[in-house]
Structure 1
Amino acid sequence: MRMKVVKLTGGSRKNRWDVEKLNHTRHNDEYKKEMRKKLETREEEIDIEEEWKNLKESIMDTAETVLGRRTTRKRKEWFDEECEKRTEAKNQARNRWLKTGNLKDLENYKEKRKEAIKHCKHKKESWIRELMQEVEVNNRDSRKLYELIKHRNSTSKKTQRIDNKRWETYYTELFREEKEITGRKKEKVEMEDSNNEDDAPSYDEYMEIIAQFKTKKAAGPDQTSNELIKQGGHKLLSRVYRILVAVWESETMPEEWKTGLLIPLLKKGDPTQCSNYRGIMLLNTTYKILTSIIRKRLTEYTETKLGEYQNGFRKGKSTIDAIHVISQIIEKSYEYDIELHILFIDFKQAFDNINRRSLVEEMQQMQIPEKLIKLTKMTMDNSRARISTTEDVTNEINIERGVRQGDALSTTLFNIALDGAIKAAGLDRPITVSSTQVIAYADDIALITRDKKSLGAALQKLVTETEKRGLQLNQDKTKYMIVSRRKTDHIKETNLGSYTFKKVENFKYLGVNVNEKNERSAEIKERIQAANKAYWKYQRYLKDHHINRATKIKIYKAAIRPVATYTAETMRLTTTDEENLGIFERKVLRKIAGPRRTEEGEYRTLMNHEKGT
């Protein structure tokens, strides 16, 4: 057993309301009763700002009185203070022996080492036993079970500290509006009244949105989590609804709703570089209810007008659709010996760079009702953010461009902006009309043509239009591939117009390996390899005798098998591929079943045909 002294870190996370209590009838009833009393003592204000202020205070006061704060401390592993103390004593004894060379000190060191190993081994075994018993106790509560095993197997990397000033400078520059957009006149967009305005949402429509809100989600800057609104009772829900209607009709919203809490999440690469983080915005729950209603109304207009190429964040479409289309195009082209030139396009921080002025113009050209355009513009005007860092939160910064990732409207608005660029470039035509095709999932775009010249021309048109809308091509991350039966030139780079792109033999598109030889077996091997990583990650649960077989099967089906079967709908399996997948599954099931005792009294691992017995 290897041991080392580690620094035990304590401290609590930011205090949050103990909303778990709302799952109990007594606390739930008490919360609704107290909320009703609070609201009855506060008259409804005409002014939206004052009404929201009173409503928020009522929610906060009631949550403090009934629920209280939940302090979540970091869970300690088996190596506790006693283990640290014994290990330190062992190390001191060893250092003493190394200095003196005395036989008595050597015997003392051996004794201390024996005690430390024995104690730590006992602690670790007890910890594992308690962990497995906890997993088994929660086997009927899927959410708690998966949260538990994910926490215990967390491999998240702790990022390096970046001081507040650097974060402020980086995001201030990122969100600053460009003075000019190439090829697009900077004109004020006139918002003319239109008879084609959407009415305020009905109470039923509002409640439908409320019902869709999930629990156990991070709250925004105002700390009003989804549970506090959903479980607040009819009185609270009615007051919130009236605020939303007032905002809808007046096209002005409380100032607090304009500020979000930006959480930088490391994507990959150097953790000391701000550009390697994706900023996710936490927003007020009441604001999210409003934007969810606006998005629902917008979708009714956009779904009939967005091109079929776009599979991102649309009802009835997913990554599977995009993967299937590109797989079929490559397969049929390979079958009929048609050469394909594919460019996998990447934009620099696409969601954060959308030009808002151009976005409003695209909405008008889509003939979206003026009311919805005004409400959308309202959500973007004077928007701000504070950045949550390892130290604290920064000062407020202005967000002058882009759509906020975390906002219900962001994906729909991005699709509108990109669709305008695709159509203006003339790249939205069906395959029966044009040999140039576009496949997209949000900003993950594949541009496909039959020759390099056509690809260069299509790229130039697309870049011209996307730049008008604020999007900048990322030359380093955009890759070029040729799919052909014939042997292609072994070049490392290719020039398309003024750009130089790296030529690749395979590319990871939406999590799937696309290669120039149309070999799907390579993808199957990668899926099995990824599933093996998941298998080793959860192996301790699959072999522990404190957990019954039904729970182990549940863990396998939820956390391991989906990794192997991702995009299974699009897989074209050979006999060898099927055998390899079967071998992997039998290996896992063999571990779950464990050894069996034979009639001769020996224990052995089951053969394939015996696992069902």
Structure 2
Amino acid sequence: MQAQKVEQEYIDIIKNIYKGSTAKIKLESTGPTFSIERGVKQGDPLSPKLFISILESIIKRFNWEKTGLNINGNYLSHLRFADDLVLLSESSTQLQNMIDSLNTASKQVGLETNLSKTMVMTNSIQRRISVDNETLKYTEKYIYLGKQIGFNRKHNELEVERRVQNTWNKYWSLKEIFKSNMPTNIKTKVMMSCLLPCLTWKFTSKLKSKITTCQRGIERSMLNIKKIQKIRHTKIRETTKATDALTYAKRLKWKWAGHVARLKDERWTTRVTTWKGPIGKRLKGRPHTRWADDLIKTAGTCWPQIAQDRDTWNSLEEAFTFT
């Protein structure tokens, strides 16, 4: 913390907060007192920040300026969010060296790698990667910060299918509310509280259909309307007064795209968005759908330049949202 220019007064206060900390667990009765040791503590607003500080000091020890993925001449070696860490590499040898360096430095400050949650993904040959001579497992997909990532060409579609399934699981876990005689506006509020922005989705026709079908199915279910009754979804929406999930998601993506385009500093958000991908030969078949393809259909290939004018960009929002 001293290296990160935190004043000594605050360092001493933090030390006193955690010095000799104890806790008890209360269920049917109160358990014995135990001391609180290492680890990120759930519900403690300071604990994850201290962990980030420690991890930052570890990462700065490494000479990773030319390590990782080459993004237009800049190298992206890792992603960090609290205690979730992703290492990026263009070769298995480089990745193994990064893991060894991180593992050694982490042990020096009392941190350990959770091997049960550590996986390896590749779009090439699977070579042995290990931590302390324990081989790490390869996986084709992984949930990182709530989003499923993978090299599968259909990963965008698979992610939406997973979200739709999770939505129905959550719906039925709250059936005491949705299938009850509670007022419709309360049911709608509960449903909309689960609506999250998905700014990185590629809105293909199939994806849009899945989102719309899921929401309409939930609305029919909570109103006890059968599909065979053939009641139009516009009539059902008049009753539920719910926000359209697809419209909401597309509007947020449009706003996010404009925000990214107007960023002036060289942050990774902008670099990755404008990146054309690695140099090499494209595989046979139709090119992959890109994140910006639906933006280009509305604003053209010069959409980053158009987004510089907020008024012009905002005037195109409705055209993008309802296509």
**TM class by shorter-chain length?**
0.5 to 0.7
Where does the alignment leave 5 or more consecutive residues of structure 1 unmatched? 1-362, 597-602
1:406 to 1:558, Cα distance in 2 relative to 1, 3 A: closer
Amino acid at match of 1:608: H
| 1:253-278: CA deviation from partner (whole Å, max 9, x where unpaired) | xxxxxxxxxxxxxxxxxxxxxxxxxx
1:552 correspondence with 2:187: yes
Q: Deviation digits for residues 95-116 of structure 1, max 9, x if unmatched?
A: xxxxxxxxxxxxxxxxxxxxxx
2:157 aligns with 521
Structure 2 Cα separation of the partners of residues 420 and 434 of structure 1: 21
Q: 2:18 aligns with which of 365, 380, 395?
A: 380
Query: Which residue identity does 1:500 align to in structure 2?
Result: T
Match of 2:128 in 1: 494
Cα drift, residue 542 of structure 1 = 3.4
In structure 1, how many angstroms separate the alpha carbons of the residues matched to 2:174 and 2:42?
Answer: 32
1:415–1:442 CA contact under 8 A, matched in 2: yes
Q: Distance in 2 between matches of 1:540 and 1:401?
A: 40
Residue of structure 2 equivalent to 1:464: 104
Checking the alignment, whether the CA contact within 8 Å between 2:49 and 2:82 is kept in structure 1 is no
Q: Which residue of structure 2 lines up, in the alignment, with residue 604 of structure 1?
A: 229
Say if 2:164 and 2:214, in contact at 8 Å, map to a contact too: yes
Partner of 1:406: 43
Structure 1 residue 376, shift from structure 2 partner: 1.3
CA distance in 1, matches of 2:49, 2:61: 18
SS in structure 2 of the partner of residue 445 of structure 1: strand
2:57 aligns to what SS in structure 1? helix
1:364 deviates by: 1.3
The whole-number CA distance in structure 2 between the counterparts of 1:371 and 1:435 is 37
Distance 1:428 1:392 in 2: 52
Whole-angstrom CA distance in 2 between matches of 1:592 and 1:460? 53
Q: Which amino acid in the other structure matches residue 517 of structure 1? A: N
Report if aligned partners of 1:479, 1:502 keep a CA contact under 8 Å in 2: yes
Is 2:207 the partner of 1:572?
Answer: no
- The Cα offsets for residues 190-238 of structure 1, whole Å up to 9 and x where unpaired, read as xxxxxxxxxxxxxxxxxxxxxxxxxxxxxxxxxxxxxxxxxxxxxxxxx
> Take 1:605 and 1:554, find their aligned partners in 2: how far apart are those partners?
25
Contact kept, 8 Å, 1:447 with 1:455, in 2: the verdict is yes
Aligned-residue offset at 1:421:
0.6
Deviation string, structure 1 residues 347-369 (Cα, Å, up to 9, x no partner): xxxxxxxxxxxxxxxx1111211
One-letter code of the match for 1:548? P
Q: Give the 3-state SS of the residue equivalent to 2:115 in structure 1.
A: coil
State TM-score, norm by structure 2.
0.63
SS in structure 2 opposite 1:550? Answer: helix
SS at match of 2:117: coil
State the 1:548 CA deviation: 2.9
Q: Secondary structure at the match of 1:570?
A: coil
AA partner of residue 526 (structure 1): R
Structure 1 residues 605 and 567 mapped into 2: Cα distance closer, same or farther (>3 Å)?
same
What amino acid does structure 2 have at the position aligned with 1:530? N
Separation of aligned partners in 1, 2:10 and 2:28? 38
State the alpha-carbon separation in 1 of the partners of residues 2 and 10 from structure 2. 10
One-letter code aligned to 2:213: I
For 1:23-56, what per-residue CA distance to the aligned partner results, in whole angstroms no more than 9, with x for missing partners?
xxxxxxxxxxxxxxxxxxxxxxxxxxxxxxxxxx
**More contact order relative to length (CA 8 Å, sep ≥ 6):** 1
Give the drift of 1:454: 1.1
CA change 1:434–1:458 in 2 (3 A) is farther
Structure 1: distance between partners of 2:206 and 2:158: 12
The one-letter amino acid paired with 2:84 is D
Q: Partner of 1:155 in structure 2? A: none
- Taking a change above 3 Å as real, the CA distance of residues 557 and 436 of structure 1, as seen in their structure-2 partners, is closer
Structure 1 Cα separation of the partners of residues 169 and 198 of structure 2? 18
Superposition map of 1:108-187 within 5 A: none
CA-CA distance at 1:387 after TM superposition = 3.8
Paired residues of 1:382 and 1:400 also in contact (CA < 8 A): no
- C-alpha distance in 2 between matches for 1:547 and 1:382: 49
- The verdict on how the C-alpha distance between 1:451 and 1:427 changes in structure 2, with shifts beyond 3 A counting, is same
Distance in 2 (CA, whole Å) between partners of 1:594 and 1:389 is: 39
CA contact (8 A) 1:435 1:450 kept: no
- Closer, same or farther: CA 606–416 of 1 in aligned 2, 3 Å: same
Deviation at 1:524, TM superposition (A): 0.3
Aligned counterparts of 1:406 and 1:428: Cα–Cα separation in 2: 35
Distance 1:380 1:553 in 2: 43
State how far apart, in whole Å, the 2-side matches of 1:577 and 1:403 are. 37
The structure that is helix-richer by fraction is 1
Distance 1:428 1:439, change over 3 A: farther
- Alignment check: 8 A CA contact 2:78 2:86 kept: yes
Counterpart AA for 1:516: F
Aligned residue type for 2:113: L
Rounded to whole Å, the distance in 1 between the matches of 2:25 and 2:235 is 57
Query: Is residue 55 of structure 2 the alignment partner of residue 418 of structure 1?
Result: yes
Aligned length: 232
One-letter amino acid matched to 1:377: K
Q: Are 1:397 and 2:27 counterparts? A: no
1:386-409 Cα deviation digits (max 9, x unpaired): 344554320x33345456443332
Shift of 1:446: 0.6
2:190 maps to a residue whose letter is: I
Deviation at 1:585, TM superposition (A): 1.1
The structural deviation recorded for 1:381 is 2.2
Any residues of structure 2 matched to 1:247-326 within 5 Å, and which? none
Pairing of 1:443-482 with structure 2 (within 5 A): 443-482=83-122
How far residue 452 of structure 1 moved from its aligned partner, in angstroms, is: 0.8
The alignment's TM-score, normalised by the length of structure 1, stands at: 0.35
What is the rounded CA distance, in whole Å, between the counterparts of 2:229 and 2:31 in structure 1? 58
Counterpart amino acid of 2:217?
Answer: K
- The C-alpha deviation readout for 1:551-591, integer Å capped at 9, x for no partner, is 232222124xx2xxx45111112100100111111112223
How is 1:26-175 mapped onto 2 (pairs within 5 angstroms)? none
2:171 aligned with 1:535, yes or no? yes
Distance apart, 1:380 and its partner CA: 2.3
- Secondary structure at 2:80's aligned position in 1? strand
Shift in CA distance, 371/530, structure 1 to aligned 2, threshold 3 Å: same
RMSD: 2.9
User: How much has 1:607 moved relative to structure 2?
Assistant: 2.9
Pair 1:441 & 2:81 matched: yes
8 A Cα contact 1:495 1:501, kept in partner: yes
Q: Give the Å deviation of 1:457.
A: 1.3
Shift in Å at residue 428 of structure 1?
Answer: 7.1
